[in-house]
Structure 1
Amino acid sequence: MKKQIIYSIALTFIWVGFVGAISFMEAWLKFQAPNITTALGLGIGQLVFKALNSVEITCAIVILLLIFSSKHPQRFKALPFLIIALVVLVIQTVWVLPALDARASLIINQVKVPPSKLHLWYVILELIKVTGLIIYGIKKLRIHTIR
């Protein structure tokens, strides 16, 4: 396997690891810690998810650069699954995360906010994104390890 392929596969699974660790573990665990108020937990969440989003955008750009710099004839074969993850990332970056951030800021500032399904949408999108990335990574491994 060429370096671009190896790096793109590795980076795909690193991306999955980041999302899994933050979205599916840290996000709810922090509220289980003693003395963590809702406002403090939301403030931490704003910082962590902004950082995660930056890491995800970087992973996406680097993976795309690696794909397009590769000369392998099957470099685009699993691309639809990556595209699913990229579309989800764009939706999260442009719509869901800014809306969640604004909502968190209101709550931190003790403004009463109505119930919202934004968190549910975020979780659903995370599941779709992670599924797309895992399938993409596995398909890339199969394509490039079978001779």
Structure 2
Amino acid sequence: MSAPAAVAAAAIFFWLGMVAAISFLEAPLKFRAPGVTLPIGLGIGRLVFKALNGCEVVLALVVVAALVLGAPSVVVVVAAGVAVVALLAQLVAVRPRLTQRSNAVLAGGPESGKRSRVHFVYLGLELVKVIGLLVAGIAVLAG
């Protein structure tokens, strides 16, 4: 395995692990902890996802750089591209709407009692990203 492929594989699987741990484990569990109110849970979520997304951007840049420097297969490029595009969609289109929504909930506005569909969009993009990362990581290792 070439050095760029090894770096790409490491970054892809590290990124995958972070997304899986935060989005599918920490996020839903925090609201079940004793004493965690909705405002506290939203505050924690904002901090955690801001940090996660920052790490994801760095990892996406590492993956892209490693792929540019290496000779990846089409499968690796497409799968990694899907993950990067899903991340960009989350950051540009979904996160601002989630921030508006959490601001309204924290202010006790009329939306505070309703379930948000924007969270489902974010979750759907997380699933797309996870699949893209999994396929890219396996393809790099198989390559």
TM over 0.5: yes
1:91 is matched with 89
Following superposition of structure 1 onto structure 2, how do residues 121-136 of structure 1 map, counting pairs within 5 Å?
121-136=121-136
1:81 matched to 2:68? The reply is no
1:109 is matched with 107
For these two proteins, the number of residue pairs brought into alignment is 140
SS in 1 for 2:28: helix
SS in 2 for 1:32: coil
1:17 matched to 2:17? The reply is yes
For residues 118 and 56 of structure 1, the distance between their equivalents in structure 2, rounded to whole angstroms, comes to 20
Identify unmatched segments of 5+ residues in structure 1: none
2:8 is matched with 8
For residues 37 and 130 of structure 1, the distance between their equivalents in structure 2, rounded to whole angstroms, comes to 29
- Structure 1 residue ranges, 4+ long, deviating more than 2 angstroms after superposition: none
Q: Given that residues 67 and 76 in structure 1 are in contact (C-alpha distance below 8 angstroms), is that contact kept between their aligned partners in structure 2?
A: no
How far is the alpha carbon of 1:76 from its aligned partner? 4.1
Q: Given that residues 79 and 136 in structure 1 are in contact (C-alpha distance below 8 angstroms), is that contact kept between their aligned partners in structure 2?
A: yes
For residues 124 and 23 of structure 1, the distance between their equivalents in structure 2, rounded to whole angstroms, comes to 11
For residues 98 and 26 of structure 1, the distance between their equivalents in structure 2, rounded to whole angstroms, comes to 21
The Cα offsets for residues 96-128 of structure 1, whole Å up to 9 and x where unpaired, read as 111111111221122221543111111111011
For residues 39 and 27 of structure 1, the distance between their equivalents in structure 2, rounded to whole angstroms, comes to 14
The Cα offsets for residues 39-96 of structure 1, whole Å up to 9 and x where unpaired, read as 11001101111111111111000111111122x3xx2432111111111111100011
Q: TM-score, normalised by structure 1?
A: 0.90
User: Structure 1 residues 47, 15: CA separation in 2 closer, same or farther (over 3 Å shift)?
Assistant: same
Identify unmatched segments of 5+ residues in structure 2: none
Q: CA RMSD in A?
A: 1.1
